[in-house]
Amino acid sequence: MNDAPVTADGNGKGGMKRLLADGRFRRLWSAQMVSGIGDWLVIGLLIPMVSSLSGGSSFAVAGILIAKIIPALVLSSVTGALVDRFDRRKTMIVADAVRFVLVLILLTTNSLLAIYVVVLLMETASLFFWPARNALIPYLVEEGDVTAANGVMYTTQQASMLVGLTASGAILAGFEAGVRAIIAADLPVVDYFAGLAAPALLGPRAGFFLDALTFVFSALVVASIKVDARAAADGERFRVSMLGRDALDSFRFLRGHRELRGLLVTIFLAILGGGAIIPVGLDYVKSLTSGVLFAEPIAWLEQVSGSPQTFMLVFMAAGMFVGALVVPGLERSLSLQLLFAGSVAGFGLSMLGFASVGVYGVAGLFAAVAGACIATLTVAGNSYVVHTTADEVRGRVFTALESVIRVALLLSMVVMAPLNDIIGGYVIRFVQENGLAPERLALTGPRITLQLSAAIVLAAAVWGFVALRWKECAEDLEEGCE
């Protein structure tokens, strides 16, 4: 592969309509949408459940994140090699079946150890599912529609997050009402199972059962997609000894692809800084004022979402949703390299704006812009991988990309959250020693930490502009940047 600047070809125009009209792609889309909503329901249940079981330990809650990241660190090269050796569609079906069985365990256990093990194993299965899905998309759509397809999938991911975060209470209430109506029907079979299942179906863990059903739905829908999605690696039959060789092949490929290495480094730095917007940003939101224009909306948000901190995630998710919608239009006039590096810069600037305002509504607007930039850089990055990697190593490259994201996020959580505590402690001591009023302090610990984090993201953007050949493409855009 060469390092030539990349854009989608002219067939990208109108690609969205073709995607929506394609039955196979539409089934893949519906499977992800339903499964994604179930996953966000579980996230909303799992964190308070672990917090309650551990007596409010923040370290116990952090254990969930650690359990989700460990599989990517240990198994990424193995899972990537397997994805490239087996039919991608069948790999997704098996992963859904495994996750269905595992999530049911959460209905019956109060053991923190068991919960961590289940989360770890579910994440391991997901390591097979997501690279297989990304590698399956080129089998379902035309080459010129790959970016549009990635945009639709990313949009779906954010839409499921929006629904799962904002309507989880309504979904669980509707499910419980349906279960009660079925029980009230007094059917013999229902009466037999009601005593066993009702506590799980009507209790606070009903979301786990719903998530299990989404995995069944996803597996059945993916099974209905007729496509031969086995990569023709080299004609050899699979042997366990190939895993190490395939992992080395993927590292050799990355070593020889300068621009792809630059993309991965840019993503790593962007997430290292940008990851602070979750643990530190939600702490920072508590210090924001509602402002004259936002007083009534903020009071309403507290009623429907429980807290304005939680709803700030909805602003980000809404931005991600919109960003993913506009990517297919942008990629027709910009190279993927320029689109990617520019969106990293936009993310850093919007994060800096988020950290520098004192009004909740304005911060929410910056959070939405940050979400749009995150969507754009993700979709552009995924499309760049598809356009510049051979099919036989594509699964491994996507797995490497996922590993980079997870490692950077873990480091961001480990470094930025303690840094916030250190800076915050120093600010408090400074205020006390100088007799200042804390409520009038402009530079708080979270604000300083977020501004430093934004500087890291902006540094990542600079790296991206240097490492990616966007300028050559901009100068030769009319020729398609080939």
Question: Is 55 within 8 Å of 49 (Cβ atoms)?
Answer: no
Tell me what pLDDT residue 189 has: 57
Question: Is 14 within 8 Å of 141 (Cβ atoms)?
Answer: no
If pLDDT is split at 50, 70 and 90, which confidence band does 70 have? Answer: confident
Tell me what pLDDT residue 197 has: 56
Question: How far, in Å, CA of 219 to CA of 97, rounded?
Answer: 7
Tell me what pLDDT residue 347 has: 95
Give yes or no for residue 12 having a pLDDT over 70: no
Tell me what pLDDT residue 349 has: 96
Cα atoms in the 13 Å half-sphere on the side-chain side of 215:
24
Give yes or no for residue 246 having a pLDDT over 60: no
The SS3 call for residue 329 is helix
Tell me what pLDDT residue 456 has: 95
Q: What is the pLDDT of residues 344-394, one digit of tens each?
A: 999 999 999 998 887 887 888 899 999 899 888 888 888 888 777 777 667
Main-chain dihedrals φ then ψ at residue 166, nearest 5 degrees: -90, -25
If pLDDT is split at 50, 70 and 90, which confidence band does 93 have? Answer: very high
Tell me what pLDDT residue 385 has: 81
| Mean pLDDT score of the chain | 75
Cα atoms in the 13 Å half-sphere on the side-chain side of 441:
20
Tokens representing 189 are: 């079979």
The SS3 call for residue 289 is strand
Q: Which amino acid is at 1?
A: M
Mean pLDDT for 275-296 is: 67
Q: What is the pLDDT of residues 445-481, one digit of tens each?
A: 788 889 999 999 999 999 988 888 766 654 444 444 4
Q: What share of the chain in percent tops pLDDT 90? A: 11
CA nearest 231: which of 395, 94, 79? Answer: 395
Least reliable range by pLDDT among 13-17, 258-262, 347-351: 13-17
Q: What is the pLDDT of residues 155-179, one digit of tens each?
A: 777 677 767 666 666 777 777 777 7
Mean pLDDT for 74-89 is: 74
Question: Is 392 within 8 Å of 252 (Cβ atoms)?
Answer: no
Tell me what pLDDT residue 2 has: 41
With a CB cutoff of 8 Å and minimum separation 6, the contacts of 370 are: 274, 277, 316, 319, 347, 350, 351, 354
The residue that leads in pLDDT, 58 or 102, is 102
The SS3 call for residue 337 is helix
Mean pLDDT for 232-261 is: 59
Tell me what pLDDT residue 44 has: 67
Q: What is the pLDDT of residues 131-160, one digit of tens each?
A: 888 888 888 887 777 777 877 776 777 677
Q: What is the pLDDT of residues 221-245, one digit of tens each?
A: 999 988 776 655 544 555 555 455 5
Domain spans in the chain, listed from the N-terminal domain onward: 10-229+241-476
Least reliable range by pLDDT among 73-77, 100-104, 367-371, 444-448: 73-77
Q: Which fold has domain 10-229+241-476?
A: Growth Hormone; Chain: A; (1.20.1250)
Place of tokens 């699979």: 238
Tell me what pLDDT residue 198 has: 57
Question: How far, in Å, CA of 441 to CA of 80, rounded?
Answer: 49
Burial (CB count <10 Å: 0-12, 13-18, 19+), residue 132 = buried
Tell me what pLDDT residue 332 has: 75
Tell me what pLDDT residue 11 has: 44
Q: What is the pLDDT of residues 291-344, one digit of tens each?
A: 545 555 555 555 444 455 556 777 887 888 788 778 777 877 788 888 899 999
Angle in degrees, 0-180, between the axes of helices 58-85 and 23-53, rounded to the nearest 10: 150
Tell me what pLDDT residue 82 has: 74
Tell me what pLDDT residue 312 has: 74
Q: What share of the chain in percent tops pLDDT 70? A: 69
Tell me what pLDDT residue 190 has: 57
